[in-house]
Amino acid sequence: MTGSSDGIGQETARRLLSSGHRVVLHARDDARAKEAAEAVPGAAGVAVGDLSVIAGTRQAAESASELGPYDAVIHNAGVGSAGARHPTADGYERIFAVNVLGPYLLTALMPAPPRLVYLTSGLQSAGRVDLDDLQWERRAWNGMHAYSDSKLYDVLLAFAVARRCPNVRSNAVDPGWIKTKLGGRGATHELPVGADTQVWLAASDEPEALVTGRYFKWRQDLRANPAAYDTGLQDALLSACAALTGTCLPG
């Protein structure tokens, strides 16, 4: 469970743990790892690695793999809109680095589990695929549009993995507008609502949960942004991520 030191990730981890599952958390550094372990007592461990940089994501993948194997991996970590374009230490735009390159590289580096869940947002519906400017280097910066684009790319990634890895159930989840640091105080729903669908997809044996290549909100199988179903765009995004990370997705 990436990004499980607070918010939806932490709530999801608690729910799975209370149901008797073995849960491994994730945090970006040792200080946050300590906080995560204290907040979710009984967790099997905490994988550490900063998903905003390639080296940190590789560290997280190695740490998580050592604590595995897993029945499910939930890619929950993410950052929201920003008022200005912020490059990471690698020189990549931060929203794209954390929200897209992070889950891509973890998927590429870790042994494939039977189930994968990628957190997206309802704002994916407003996202646009711009393969010539994935990191907003040419366009005038718009933080909300950059975030929406990244969430669309997460759906593309989930669907691409589902298509390329038939032994893996790979799905995308919009948790809704949840009261977290990212969602803000004006959000309409509490943490349990935001965690429920991920818990269900990760652990349920109900037929509705045993699917792949789907986009869910509150356990409802919905239609995503039409661009997400374009296999050419899926493959182009994978190629771009491979070039930026130096690592190809298996399959």
- Given a contact cutoff of 8 angstroms between Cβ atoms, the answer to whether 34 and 22 are in contact is no
The strand pairing partners of 243, in sequence order, are none
Told to judge if 118 belongs to the known catalytic residues of this protein, a careful annotator would answer no
**Which position among 92, 118, 151, 153 bears the catalytic label?**
151
C-alpha closest to that of 26 among 63, 58, 80: 63
| CA 145/CA 147 separation, integer angstroms | 5
Helical ranges in 119-190 per DSSP H: 143-164
Q: Hey, CA dihedral for 233, 101, 84, 10, is it positive or negative?
A: positive
**Which position among 147, 153, 179, 215 bears the catalytic label?**
147
Told to judge if 147 belongs to the known catalytic residues of this protein, a careful annotator would answer yes
| CA 26/CA 116 separation, integer angstroms | 16
Instruction: Indicate which residues carry an active-site annotation.
Output: 147, 151
